[in-house]
Amino acid sequence: MSIASDIIRGHTDTIILSSLKEKDSYGYEINKKIKLASGGRYELNEATLYTAFKRLEDSGCVDSYWGTEQSNARRKYYHLTALGAETCDRLLEEWKTAKKIIDTLIDSEGEENE
């Protein structure tokens, strides 16, 4: 069963920023991590991923730099800025609040139907 992309789409920035809290990374590696963490049920398409990186870079949440790879494949790495860390924390709190509200609404609906 795949996860409906509409449910996750609004949280792309949160997912990327959260991943970058751990370490600098590049697009393919982050997308691979998302796919593995979701058990293969979700991955970002390339256009969505790189549009998000551009938006996050333009807003000052991430910086980028070119890595020097031994395999002759230069990769663009992304680094979380201080603003990006603050933004990530805020977005995570917003997610927790929204999740709590949705859980309450869903649980309430179930109780009313019994």
Q: Domains of the chain (ranges plus CATH)?
A: 5-112 (1.10.10.10)
Query: Which sign, positive or negative, has the C-alpha torsion 101, 104, 108, 110?
Result: positive
- Nearest 5°: phi and psi at 76? -90, 115
Task: Output Rg (C-alpha) for the chain, integer angstroms.
Answer: 17
pTM of the model as a whole:
0.84
Mean pLDDT of the chain: 89
In the prediction, which pLDDT does 21 show?
95
Percent of the chain predicted with pLDDT > 70: 87
Max CA separation in the chain (angstroms): 62
In the prediction, which pLDDT does 109 show?
59
Q: How confident is the model at residue 95 (pLDDT cuts 50, 70, 90)?
A: very high
What are the structure tokens assigned to 79, written together?
A: 């680094």
Distance CA 87, CA 81 (A): 10
What's the mean pLDDT in 42-71? 91
Q: Could you tell me where the beta strands, DSSP code E, fall in 12-90?
A: 25-26, 62-66, 76-80
Q: Cα torsion for 91, 8, 62, 70, to the nearest 10°?
A: 140
